[in-house]
Structure 1
Amino acid sequence: MKHSILASTLMLTLATPALADDITVGFAIAKSGWMEAYDSPAATAAKIRIDEINAGGGLLGQKVKWVEVDTKTDRAQSAKAGLQVLDEGADMMVVSCDYDFGAPAALAAESAGKNSFFLCAEDVKAGIQGVGPNSFSGSVLAAVQGATMAEWSQAAREAKTGYVLLDTTIEYNKGICTGFDWMFPKAGGEIIGRDTFKNNDASIASQISRIKALPQEPDVIMLCSYIPGAAAAVRQLRAAGITSLILNGSAVDGSYWLDAVPDLSGFVLPVQGSIYGDDPRAEVESFNQAYEATTGARPASQYAYPGYILIDLWAKAVERAGSVEGAAVTAELEKMQGEATAFGPRSFSDMLHHQNSAKMQIIEIADAKPGVVGDWTISEPVPLDVLLK
């Protein structure tokens, strides 16, 4: 009798699939150092989407959990963090916003055959071209931001002449200007001058002198920079009496820096969604409120949004693949063309794991108050050869 019970128990064990482990997302991100200001909001947004997925029954019938290791805004630590979250069972890895600081961790995921997503990197190398075939970014390329400003300024403000002022400190800035340089003349405008500076330059007086020496003030100045250098440049341009419409990329989203430029007007940038409560899409404001409920404050800039988007897209691909295996998920992500998200449609291909076109909300700062003044989608995607310049 005892042998019969043992045999029956063994047969039942063999016939019943073992309970599957939870699906694990590994965050190898900056929780300290200057990158923390970019990584933490986007990571919080990613976790909000994970909680929503779990509340809806999970992914492939399993709960999604997450593990996290601090890269300390250090490239060597980024590689170690990537290996550690893999050791802790990560099925997919989320890495820092910036390509330089996220790539070491992403390369660890690539070597393990896992998918990686940069939280908000906007350099084309944060993907196939720099990491490998299983790496993606949740954000919109910097060149798209510059191209959006170029085309929108001509269509909405009848800009005919433009001046390019490039902060050469990081690749992101160069990407913005690359997109503007490509689209502005293509759309019928003329770039009448260009100059450079560094983000930590105390003064751009010589650059301002060259702008003021032009026969006529440019209609727009494409300022490719980030805070604090962007704020200092804008303050000096306005103090010098230059009234041109100033354009920039998404990196300057948020009102936190406006005290540095009192009563600022005539400043425009593109964003993936508005943090100011005036986005025309109800889903965006719903997210803003969910973020506030989680953290006690609304997002400080649009850079929270890509974290939510990347988990949303990855989870859809996992369900369609029926697996978390890297190559299978990649294949499903690359099929996405105009995939709906709360922040607009997103697309990937086997050539590009970024957005080289996207519907952007246009934010204008007038009398020191930012607000949506419209939206714009560039008339054609930024070509790969332009992105790789």
Structure 2
Amino acid sequence: MTGFMSVFDVPVEQGMAMAVKDINAAGGVLGRQLELITTNNESDPTKIQSAAQEAIEKGAQFVVPACDYDIGGPAARTANDQGIIAIGCAGGPLFGYEGTGPMTYNLHQASPGEGATMAQWAFAAGYRKPFVINDRGLEYSQVAGEYFTKKWQAMGGQIAGETTYQNGDQSAASQIADIQRSGADLVVIASYPPGGATLIRQIRAAGIGLPMVGTQAFDGTYWLDAVPDLSDFFVPVTASLHGDDPVAARNEFFRRIEQETGSPAASAFYPLTGYSSVQALARAIERAGTTDSAAVSAELDRFTDEDLLMGPTTYTATCHIPSLRPQLIVEYTAGKPAVVQRDLALTEVPGGAPC
């Protein structure tokens, strides 16, 4: 797995490999050993469908696409077109039943829920004048920023200002000037690394010390070299990889990653997603008593607060996005992240959950 998506997809594959190892050691699924088949789309939009087709031709009965709607969506459609389940972790709300097909399942809460969670946390924390920077680079970041604003306004709040950013832009001078004029008490970074880290560095370098809240794309430490000693930065996350997660099994999972790979996990969400995708499929297959996609899909649709490693997961026959899964809040202080709030439960997504 290569290209810009490899920073996300390689940890997903690591998590999948660990789940396959664990399940096979326990006897496999329906008495059969699981096999992990991989292909490389090189993060190239022109190669996504062919890479998915290659995996299917190698014998894949289930597909785990790249962790993004723009890159993973075409692979999910390729699987759906052949009656094959695709399960992944795209933030874009179209990665699910309605957007890519009835055989597509998302383990991410989706960016409407993520943006709404950021807003709900910020409002409860006492902020009243957020300035929103909306990265147009991916649907994920665009929608997260839009739903921060929608949720904020639904709670009766007013936005101090909004602007856009394009991931990869070398200068954030216009965004910095807008923040300085706005009178904001919080900066919302609806973006993702590496460009988002560049944006944060330039904001801090301009002398703006306001608290910031970012998307879950900033989970982990892999991007912090760009912003050493970062403080007053908050992120809603599914889990913490820093030894302070409230679920002991997740702390053990991250210890295992370091033991088995020789390096600590760079983020929590992606390896957890890989593990949980295999875990979800294995449970659904066992309950269905078959690997037939229709039967397995029916069992996935029955998941109600299913206790996967990444947390409670609920699907229905027409909703394949677990929008209301509780989150943690991690704060970065002098470059060190730590959980400062547990069980942040989103009350609602403006306009309803994605499905």
Q: If the TM-score is normalised by the length of the shorter chain, which range does it land in?
A: over 0.9
What is the aligned partner in structure 2 of residue 198 from structure 1? 166
More deviation in 197-206 or 331-340? 197-206
Q: Which letter maps to 2:86?
A: S
SS in 2 for 1:72: coil
Report the CA distance between 1:168 and its aligned residue. Answer: 0.9
What is the aligned partner in structure 1 of residue 90 from structure 2? 121
More deviation in 189-198 or 67-76? 67-76
Q: Could you report, residue by residue, the CA deviation over 1:179-204 in whole angstroms, capped at 9, with x for unpaired residues?
A: 31222223343212111121122222
Match of 1:149 among 105, 110, 118: 118
Q: How does 1:30-49 map to 2 (within 5 A)?
A: 31-49=1-19
Q: Which letter maps to 1:315?
A: A
Label 1:39 to 1:262 Cα distance change in 2 as closer, same or farther (>3 A): closer
Match of 1:272 among 232, 235, 238: 238
1:138 aligns with 2:107: yes
RMSD: 1.8
SS in 1 for 2:250: helix
Q: Could you report, residue by residue, the CA deviation over 1:52-95 in whole angstroms, capped at 9, with x for unpaired residues?
A: 11111111121111222222222332222222222222211111
Q: Which letter maps to 2:190?
A: C
1:169 aligns with 2:134: no
What is the aligned partner in structure 2 of residue 290 from structure 1? 256
Q: How does 1:56-95 map to 2 (within 5 A)?
A: 56-95=26-65
Give the TM-score normalised by structure 1.
0.86
Q: Which letter maps to 1:111?
A: D
Label 1:338 to 1:146 Cα distance change in 2 as closer, same or farther (>3 A): same
SS in 2 for 1:68: coil
SS in 2 for 1:212: helix
Paired with 1:387 and 1:263, the residues of 2 have a C-alpha distance of 36
Paired with 2:275 and 2:344, the residues of 1 have a C-alpha distance of 21
- Structure 1 segments unaligned to the other structure (5+ residues): 1-30
Contact conserved, 2:65 with 2:86, CA < 8 A, in 1?
yes
- Structure 2 segments unaligned to the other structure (5+ residues): none
SS in 1 for 2:119: helix
SS in 2 for 1:362: strand
Match of 2:281 among 303, 308, 314: 314
Paired with 1:307 and 1:384, the residues of 2 have a C-alpha distance of 30
Q: How does 1:100-115 map to 2 (within 5 A)?
A: 100-115=70-85
- Residue identity (%): 35
Label 1:339 to 1:383 Cα distance change in 2 as closer, same or farther (>3 A): farther
Q: Which has the larger radius of gyration?
A: 1
Match of 1:159 among 127, 138, 145: 127
1:52 aligns with 2:33: no
Report the CA distance between 1:113 and its aligned residue. Answer: 1.1
Contact conserved, 1:42 with 1:308, CA < 8 A, in 2?
yes
Match of 2:299 among 329, 332, 340: 332
